[in-house]
Chain A
Amino acid sequence: MELAYFLVISVVAVLAAVAVIASRNTVHSALYMVVNLFCVAMLYLSLSAEFLAVVQITVYAGAIMVLFLFVITMLNPDNEESRSRIRNRLPFAVGFALALLVAVSLAMQPQLLRVAQPAQLQAAGAGNVEAIGGLLFTRYLLPFELVAVLLLVGMVAAIVLGKRRV
């Protein structure tokens, strides 16, 4: 049952990812990207990462992809790319990607990663928001604060770059 769930969701995710890079229309790409993000969120649910699934949908599919759609509709990039949307080094790119796929798949064998037998999350019953929040404010406090600063820097940079005259 779980296996069938995983297989269906992951096939949809991979097809949507291929559609993102293959579709002619940029808006369609963005919508396929949303499909892919939703599928990944479903996989997070099956890995008992409920908090991340919700964050994935609100932040990624909600905020980031809406930002993408705004910029796409503002720039309307399709009319000029259509003549040659693909670079002329397709065979090299496909070969490189396949080699990379094989290398990454071989490097990520669970035996090599020394993973123990799959254990259930301790916090599975209590919901993992509590566990993540606890870690964020103890062990990962410094990275957490740095991410806050990074987001502020990103916001200032976007405002400066978006101004008509600097």
Chain B
Amino acid sequence: MIAPLSYYLILSAVLFTIGVLGVLVRKNPLIMFMSIELMLNGGNVAFVALAHSFGNVDGQVIAFFVMAIAAAEVVVGLAIISSIFRLRVSIDVDEVSTLKG
């Protein structure tokens, strides 16, 4: 007897919310990035759980794409963070405001 679908969906919502909270609260850009990963993971849990309920694997394919895109995003983001750090001052996101409109 597998756990009901709604449990997986609630877990996914909780993981997503924790990610949102991390992005809103923390100042460290690396931890903010990890929070974005948490959000993507929460979305993936919902995709895979629904794929299992619908009985096909399309949701798993989408989750696979999400992982690939997360990898690309992390590579670019970390490169930006390290080049800001090199220029630098601080990697506190509130102090990196050169591009502020």
Interface residue ranges, A against B (CB under 8 Å): 1-3, 5-7, 10, 13-14, 17-18, 20-21, 26, 29-30, 33, 36-37, 40, 43-44, 46-49, 51-52, 55-56, 59-60, 63-64, 67-68, 71-72, 74-75, 77, 80-81, 84-87, 89-90, 92-94, 96-98, 100-101, 104-105, 108-110, 113, 115-116, 118-123, 128, 131-132, 135-136, 139-140, 143-144, 147, 150-151, 153-155, 157-158, 161-162
Within 8 A of A (CB), among B25-83: 25-28, 30-31, 33-35, 37-38, 41, 44-46, 48-58, 60-61, 63-65, 67-76, 78-83
What would 15 A/B residue contacts be, using CB atoms closer than 8 Å?
A20-B34, A21-B21, A43-B8, A101-B14, A104-B16, A110-B9, A115-B5, A118-B2, A119-B53, A122-B56, A154-B71, A154-B76, A157-B76, A157-B79, A158-B78
Of B2, B16, B44, B69, which one neighbours A147 at CB under 8 angstroms?
Answer: B69
Whether A55 and B31, one on each chain, are in contact in the complex, defined by CB atoms closer than 8 angstroms, is no
Interface size bracket, B side: 35 or more
Residues of A within 8 A of B80 (CB): 161
Q: What separation, in Å, do the CA atoms of A38 and B75 have in the docked complex?
A: 21
Whether B48 and A93, one on each chain, are in contact in the complex, defined by CB atoms closer than 8 angstroms, is no
Residues of A within 8 A of B28 (CB): 26, 77, 81, 85
Residues of A within 8 A of B49 (CB): 47
Residues of B within 8 A of A108 (CB): 6, 9-10, 12-13, 46
Evaluate whether A67 and B75 lie within 8 angstroms (CB atoms) in the complex, with A21-B25, A110-B5, A110-B53 already known.
yes
Evaluate whether A132 and B71 lie within 8 angstroms (CB atoms) in the complex, with A81-B28, A161-B80 already known.
no
Whether A132 and B60, one on each chain, are in contact in the complex, defined by CB atoms closer than 8 angstroms, is yes
A119 to chain B, nearest CB (A): 4
A149 to chain B, nearest CB (A): 10
Whether B22 and A132, one on each chain, are in contact in the complex, defined by CB atoms closer than 8 angstroms, is no
Q: Which residue of B has the minimal Cβ distance to A140?
A: B61
